[in-house]
Chains A and B, each alone.
Chain A
Amino acid sequence: MLHARREEWQDADAFLEDAFDRGWTDGLPVVPPTPEKVEALLAAAGLAAETVLGTVPTREVTVTAEHAAINAVMAGCKAEYFPVVAAAVRAHLDEHGNCHSTTGTLSGAAHAVIVNGPIRDEIGIAYGAGCLGPGFRANATIGRALRLVIRNVCRAVPGFLDRATYSWPLRYSFCFGEDEAAGDWTPLHVQRGFGPDESTVTVHSVMRMVSSWDSSSRTAEGVLDTIVADTRHHGFNGDEFLGDQIPLVYVMGKEHQRFFFAEGWSKAHMQEYLFGRLTAETAGPHDRRYNLGHPENILIVAAGGAGMAETWILFPHLAWAVTEPIERVTLPA
């Protein structure tokens, strides 16, 4: 049974204009969340409306599956996307996701939703060429659904509980998959303790996103040394809340991946190589230590298309990277 307040509008256009007026959107049009559509999403995830996905204690907010489903419909999600949205909301609201801080911060941190496992191909999560940008319904609407939950349910509205100085475009939507078949690397979710046949989301707060572009190096070590230098240009001092779990995400494209596949580098080997170099003492104003606690806190994700010799560095805000399983039900044929 649904619990949200219902209202009647003259038609979909009237709903949309009212949604803009009431501040229910991110500035883009939304789909009217009819009870039938919301129920279809809940059914696809096997969740009761009142299932609690998490809380924001500082705002006295409890987020239910119904809240998430309403906002997922508004974002344009298909029913089969909702298990991913529910898992992403859980991950975001995990205690270590530090949701009050990452959504209220002056820095305007965004949230990357990284999808692993079989569900990627089942629902069309893009992980190849162009996967960080527009053009893919699953990526665009799942990332947007999380942001609408943050806005409408968790009350992170600009000028109210969202105090971002600039905010940034990644806050509209930021979701992509890992290209698990790119080579013989262990997928991210398997490195984090899940089975290869399980599907997961990893939510990572992103304070800044920096390109590490290197089209000159012809060895794996050369590529990694460039990535280290670009990472250390910014560095990270450490933080009491994060403790020894400060994360760092590298999204490595094909033109960099191929050196590692050719030379037989595993992700674990890369993590070890990077860890010592990233945590070495600061050497100057443009060479700052990145205060990681463990090599495993370096999350390496294969994604993107061919052509650009580039790895994206996703620097965190004040949150751990949290991985949650995607729970689904088998729908009748």
Chain B
Amino acid sequence: MTIVALDPTSGPVDPTTVRRLAPRPASLSGQRLGLVVNGLGYSERFLDALAEELLATTDLDGVVKVVKSSVSVPPDPGDWSRLTEGATVAITGFGG
């Protein structure tokens, strides 16, 4: 005997509303790099080393670094402004 049952999900992800990845620049030349440090583990040390490497090997125009006050909260409004106004590309990272 056939059975009728209900879909248990909240529906398929709507492609018209889903957030998409930002366009990727072809190179870092002239870009200003934003770094968002979430405070876990050695994330700040890692991102500092990454920035140093990229500054030495590319034509980056500068770095805007934000360190969150806690792992469980977003950057504060002032830091958001510094990022959105001062950076053209950004890297964040997490890890324990």
Chain A positions within 8 Å of B, measured between CB atoms, are 2, 4-12, 15, 24, 32-35, 38, 60-63, 67, 70-71, 74, 98, 101, 106-107, 148, 152-155, 165, 239-242, 318
Contact = CB atoms under 8 A, between A and B. Distances in A.
Contacts of B6: 2, 4-6, 33-35, 38, 70
Contact of B72 (A61, A106, A241): A241
B93 to A, nearest CB: 12
Interface of B: 1-11, 13, 17, 69-73, 94-96
Contacts of A74: 8
B3 A15 contact: yes
Given A106-B95, A106-B96, A24 B8 contact: yes
A286 to B, nearest CB: 19
11 contacts: A8-B3, A11-B2, A15-B5, A32-B3, A34-B3, A34-B6, A35-B4, A98-B72, A106-B96, A155-B10, A239-B72
B26 to A, nearest CB: 29
A155 B8 CA distance: 11
A161 B11 CA distance: 15
A5 B7 CA distance: 5
A60 B8 contact: no
Contacts of A11: 1-3
A36 to B, nearest CB: 9
B4 A6 contact: yes
A33 B7 CA distance: 8
Contacts of A98: 72
Contact of B71 (A63, A67, A155, A318): A318
A180 to B, nearest CB: 33
Residue of A4, A11, A241, A242 with most chain B CB atoms under a 10 A cut-off? A4
A7 B3 CA distance: 8
A148 B10 contact: no
